[in-house]
Amino acid sequence: ARPLVIAVDGPAAAGKGTLARRLAAELGLPYLDTGLLYRATGRRVLDRGLDPRDAIAAEAEARAMTAADLARTDLRGPAADMAASAVAAIPAVRAALLDWQREFGRRHGAVMDGRDIGTVVFPEAPIKLFVTAATGERARRRWAELHARGVAADLDQVEAELRARDAQDAGRSTAPMKPAEDAVLLDTTDLDAEAAYAAALLLVRTRM
């Protein structure tokens, strides 16, 4: 049988990372946070003092990326968020990262979280979740995350940045963020992490 791939897509701070990681542990599957690939690419471009919208530079950095880049400690935060989203809108960057993601999933199966796993990377995945939450609630969660890490942030600004990134991710022409036609929508606005996980596990179990 083909190794199982579970696609977990959705906007930032909807809870998909926590949920995907726990599902992977529960099911004994590897977990892949595909956002890291775009974040590391964006960081490499910024390191070179170049613009993340520069298609030539961004493609070169996507192709030159190594495992060490994925382990960097500066991949989270407003600058990294926007650089990731900028390089992610470039078709050549997405193409450069596609085979690697498919190879990863095909080898041992995976729970993969991102924006286009169910639509582009693994359209044949038998289980697809699209995790959402109201923007205000996602902003509060992201703000609390930053606060817990000791990063001072303004809630309105966090929300404005989430909105800008969602608009860029959903509005790009290549692999825009959107639910696959056969994805199950999970709205976590009124669910805590525990309840969201329980709901996701139930959905997955009924489809396995």
Instruction: Select from 6, 165, 180, 191 the one that contacts ligand C5P (CB under 6 A).
Output: 165
Report the 10 Å Cβ neighbour count for 122: 22
- 18 labelled as ligand-binding? yes
Nearest to 164 by CA among 81, 42, 101: 81
* Strand (E) or helix (H) holding 52: none
Cβ atoms 137, 189 nearer than 8 A: yes
What residues contact 19, with CB distance under 8 A and at least 6 apart? 8, 129, 131, 193, 196, 197, 200
Closest distance of CB 35 from ligand C5P, Å = 2
Instruction: Select from 7, 15, 35, 137 the one that contacts ligand C5P (CB under 6 A).
Output: 35
Nearer to ligand C5P, 81 or 199 (CB): 81
Nearer to ligand C5P, 167 or 202 (CB): 167
- 14 labelled as ligand-binding? yes
Report the 10 Å Cβ neighbour count for 75: 20
Instruction: Select from 130, 133, 169, 199 the one that contacts ligand C5P (CB under 6 A).
Output: 169
Position 39 contacts ligand C5P (CB under 6 A):
yes
Report the 10 Å Cβ neighbour count for 180: 19
Closest distance of CB 120 from ligand C5P, Å = 8
Position 12 contacts ligand C5P (CB under 6 A):
yes
Q: Give dist(CA 168, CA 117) in Å, integer.
A: 17
Cβ atoms 20, 8 nearer than 8 A: yes
Position 188 contacts ligand C5P (CB under 6 A):
no
- Read off the tokens for 19: 């949920």
CA angle 3, 130, 125 (to 5 degrees): 20
Which one of the spans 33-41, 64-72, 124-132, 135-143 is the region binding ligand C5P (CB under 6 A)? 33-41
Position 142 contacts ligand C5P (CB under 6 A):
no
Strand partners, 184: 129
- 17 labelled as ligand-binding? yes
- 24 labelled as ligand-binding? no
- 11 labelled as ligand-binding? yes
Nearer to ligand C5P, 59 or 169 (CB): 169
Strand partners, 187: 132
Position 88 contacts ligand C5P (CB under 6 A):
yes
Residues in contact with ligand C5P by CB under 6 A are: 12, 34-35, 38-39, 84-85, 88, 114-117, 165, 169
